[in-house]
A and B are shown apart, each in its own frame.
Chain A
Amino acid sequence: MSPRLRAILLRLVQAIPVVIGVVVISFVLTRALPGDPAVYFAGAAADEESIAQIRTSMGLDKPLPIQFLQYVADLLQGDFGQSVYSGQPVAEDLANRLPASLELTLTALILSCAIAIPIGVLAAKNPGSFVDQLCRILVTAGVSLPTFFTGILLIYVFYYLLGLAPSPLGRLDFLYIEPDNVTGFYLIDALIAGDWETWFASLKQLILPAITLALFTLAPIARMTRAAMLSALSSDFIRTARAAGLSDHKVTYGYAFRNALLPIITTLGMVFSFSLGANVLVEKVFAWPGIGSYAVEALVVSDYAAVQGFVLAMALLFVTLNLVIDLTYSVIDPRIGFDTK
């Protein structure tokens, strides 16, 4: 077995205890419901008998360890419980709404990387310059912005004052028909269908929420890019490369930037976690039909199975993402080994 493959396998094994821990916490959260879950799931009009029936059918009369095993067995079959509010299995609801959230989050992340990384690189290359000052302001102001507030400000300016943006209600204006579901990403589905009008309409809906989320993620990415580039540019191998007469472009992008990529990617993972949380707020502001607004709707009607299913799904998504990021490290930087810890 090659050392590379072994490192990857080892990293995969390391993820197992975290997944177990996440499942345990999520079990505790579902069982920590105020009052008796059986009474809650039986509904307001239930009598003693139907409550007892529900308790038996949900397995709530069994000891906690057995309940936990049952919970894990259900999860392994993809059963996240039943939503009282929509009447559907929670897993199905989440799967239906996940593409909307992912489309928003990924567009926002691409947008913020496209802005933050060049700013960070330029700021590091010219300390004290205009770009550097801009970067500093951006970083301090960016972390203080409440996402829901920026979203509302953008709606006020671009929808109410300027009339440029469409009304902030969902993924597509009601005049248009959803493109055929292939990936669930409207932008990609409309492209596949060759329907430019729908593509443009869904882009228009997407742009404000994506900017809101991007503004939120801009600051940590720009900050880390600047710091990583500064330390890369001041290292010995860059001095050597310059002394050897390599072009400025080659030194900056071929050597310094490539070495700065590692911390930037780590930050991206963290930022992704933040934006999964911020997503909830942005989706509520823009009535975006993703999993975040699903969780908020479920919270309002006290549909706890749906909320906890959402929390677990988010955690598993995040663990998977961190795994993928760690694995990409070995592609970006072959020196990385996972058995250092």
Chain B
Amino acid sequence: MTVFSGNTDPGADNTSNSITHILYIMKENPVTLIAFALFGFYVLSALFGQQLVPYDPLASDSENVLQPPSLQHWFGTDPLGRDVFSRVISATRLDLLIAVSAVAISFVVGSFLGSVAGYWGGKLDIILSRTLDTIMAFPIFVLAMGIVAALGNTVENIVYATAIINVPFYARLVRAEVNIRRNAGFVQSAKLSGNSDIRILALHIFPNTLPPMMVQISLNLGWAILNAAGLSFIGLGVRPPTPEWGIMVAEGANFIVSGEWWLAVFPGLWLMLAVFTFNLLGDGLRDMVDPRQRT
């Protein structure tokens, strides 16, 4: 891992040194440790949750309708008698999948656009920056709504919409990071040794943008989960009876005024904790990457 390579050419980096540094940060900041543990928990829920939950998340049971939390049903049951705990855990995979794919798309597209604009500059840079400014002129959640409404109401389009609204953040970050290094000493020496522009950009400059990008990705995953859950809360994308946190909170909202709190509270808490985890993780990664910005 070349997490804290800073301004130097990667490769000259010392791996064991990095690991010592990460361990040091972990010991210094137990919150980051907790964040990593929670992150592990969510990843395991996403991978194996559907196999491990006690009930089928889609199976209704007309005899156990709207039961409050008990030993049999830890998070209670919904109006169709489905087990809320099983649904909350099974939903992890879909929610994380939407967020991860959206962030992956915006990472790839944003890195490409940002690298090109930052390295070559000129007209291309101006056009790209203006386009990104325009996208950022829309309130992001509202733009996501508009995109999903225009492309059609499906889960894939939720992913695309979330990806589009996040591209400007990546592109700007990469553009700035590439731009400050395009005439750095190591780039000039690479040029003199006869490397092509594309090779220099891809193998010498771009890896340097990865540490700040990791922080951005982690924070962004939190936003992406919130965004996707928000969209499905207003009825876009995921359809019932698919278990998904946003839609479960929306369904539970109708019962909150009559006191059946567990329907909305548990999926909401799980969603909140997921976002919280990614935010803490982002802060923790920032400490590892850039000690100056420590809060």
Using CB atoms and an 8 Å cutoff, list the residues of chain A in contact with chain B: 17-18, 21-22, 24-26, 28-30, 32-34, 136, 140-141, 143-149, 152-153, 155-156, 159-160, 167-168, 273-274, 276-278, 280-281, 284-285, 295-296, 299-300, 304, 307-308, 310-311, 314-315, 318-319, 322
Residue of B nearest to A308 (CB): B146
Partner of B137, one of A22, A29, A34, A285: A22
**B264/A307 in contact, CB under 8 A:** no
The binding surface of chain A is classed by DSSP as: helix
**A144/B234 in contact, CB under 8 A:** no
Residue of B nearest to A277 (CB): B141
Using CB atoms and an 8 Å cutoff, list the residues of chain B in contact with chain A: 130-131, 133-135, 137-143, 145-147, 149-152, 222, 226, 229-230, 233-236, 246, 249-250, 252-253, 256-259, 261, 264-265, 268, 271-273, 275-276, 279-280, 283, 295
Beyond A160-B257, A315-B137, 20 additional pairs, beta carbon < 8 A: A21-B133, A22-B134, A25-B138, A32-B150, A140-B276, A140-B283, A143-B275, A144-B273, A148-B233, A273-B140, A276-B142, A277-B140, A278-B141, A280-B145, A281-B141, A284-B234, A296-B234, A300-B235, A308-B146, A322-B137
**B135/A25 in contact, CB under 8 A:** yes
For B226, list chain A residues within 8 Å (CB). Answer: 146
For A145, list chain B residues within 8 Å (CB). Answer: 272
**B268/A152 in contact, CB under 8 A:** yes
- Quote the shortest CB–CB distance from A205 to chain B (angstroms): 15
**Contact A299:B149 (CB < 8 A) given known A149-B264, A156-B261, A311-B142:** yes
Partner of B138, one of A159, A160, A284, A311: A311
Q: Give the distance in Å from the alpha carbon of A210 to the alpha carbon of B152 in the complex.
A: 32
For B147, list chain A residues within 8 Å (CB). Answer: 29
For A33, list chain B residues within 8 Å (CB). Answer: 150
- Quote the shortest CB–CB distance from A252 to chain B (angstroms): 21
Partner of A315, one of B139, B151, B256, B276: B139
For A140, list chain B residues within 8 Å (CB). Answer: 276, 279-280, 283
Q: Give the distance in Å from the alpha carbon of A153 to the alpha carbon of B266 in the complex.
A: 11
For A168, list chain B residues within 8 Å (CB). Answer: 257
**A160/B135 in contact, CB under 8 A:** no
The binding surface of chain B is classed by DSSP as: helix
For B279, list chain A residues within 8 Å (CB). Answer: 140, 143-144
**Contact A29:B146 (CB < 8 A) given known A149-B264, A152-B264, A159-B257:** yes
A-B contact count, CB below 8 Å? Answer: 152
**B137/A319 in contact, CB under 8 A:** yes
**A299/B139 in contact, CB under 8 A:** no
For A25, list chain B residues within 8 Å (CB). Answer: 134-135, 138
**A18/B150 in contact, CB under 8 A:** no
**B149/A304 in contact, CB under 8 A:** yes
Partner of B142, one of A146, A156, A280: A280
**B235/A149 in contact, CB under 8 A:** no
Partner of B271, one of A141, A146, A300: A146
- Quote the shortest CB–CB distance from A332 to chain B (angstroms): 23
Residue of A nearest to B258 (CB): A160
**A146/B229 in contact, CB under 8 A:** yes
Q: Give the distance in Å from the alpha carbon of A22 to the alpha carbon of B142 in the complex.
A: 13
**B230/A160 in contact, CB under 8 A:** no
For A300, list chain B residues within 8 Å (CB). Answer: 235
Q: Please, could you name 6 A-B residue pairs with CB atoms under 8 Å apart, sorted by A?
A: A18-B134, A26-B146, A144-B272, A148-B246, A295-B142, A311-B146
For A318, list chain B residues within 8 Å (CB). Answer: 137-139
Q: Give the distance in Å from the alpha carbon of A144 to the alpha carbon of B268 in the complex.
A: 11
For A295, list chain B residues within 8 Å (CB). Answer: 142, 145
Q: Give the distance in Å from the alpha carbon of A280 to the alpha carbon of B149 in the complex.
A: 15
- Quote the shortest CB–CB distance from A224 to chain B (angstroms): 12
Q: Give the distance in Å from the alpha carbon of A300 to the alpha carbon of B235 in the complex.
A: 7
Q: Give the distance in Å from the alpha carbon of A18 to the alpha carbon of B145 in the complex.
A: 20
Residue of B nearest to A33 (CB): B150
- Quote the shortest CB–CB distance from B29 to chain A (angstroms): 13
**B256/A156 in contact, CB under 8 A:** yes
Residue of A nearest to B272 (CB): A144
**B139/A276 in contact, CB under 8 A:** yes
For B131, list chain A residues within 8 Å (CB). Answer: 21
**A141/B150 in contact, CB under 8 A:** no
- Quote the shortest CB–CB distance from A149 to chain B (angstroms): 4
For A281, list chain B residues within 8 Å (CB). Answer: 141, 230, 233-234
For A32, list chain B residues within 8 Å (CB). Answer: 150-151
Q: Give the distance in Å from the alpha carbon of A310 to the alpha carbon of B249 in the complex.
A: 25
For A153, list chain B residues within 8 Å (CB). Answer: 265, 268
For B152, list chain A residues within 8 Å (CB). Answer: 34
Q: Give the distance in Å from the alpha carbon of A196 to the alpha carbon of B259 in the complex.
A: 32
- Quote the shortest CB–CB distance from A313 to chain B (angstroms): 9
Q: Give the distance in Å from the alpha carbon of A118 to the alpha carbon of B142 in the complex.
A: 30
For B149, list chain A residues within 8 Å (CB). Answer: 29, 299, 304, 307-308
**B139/A273 in contact, CB under 8 A:** yes
**Contact A146:B253 (CB < 8 A) given known A17-B130, A33-B150:** no
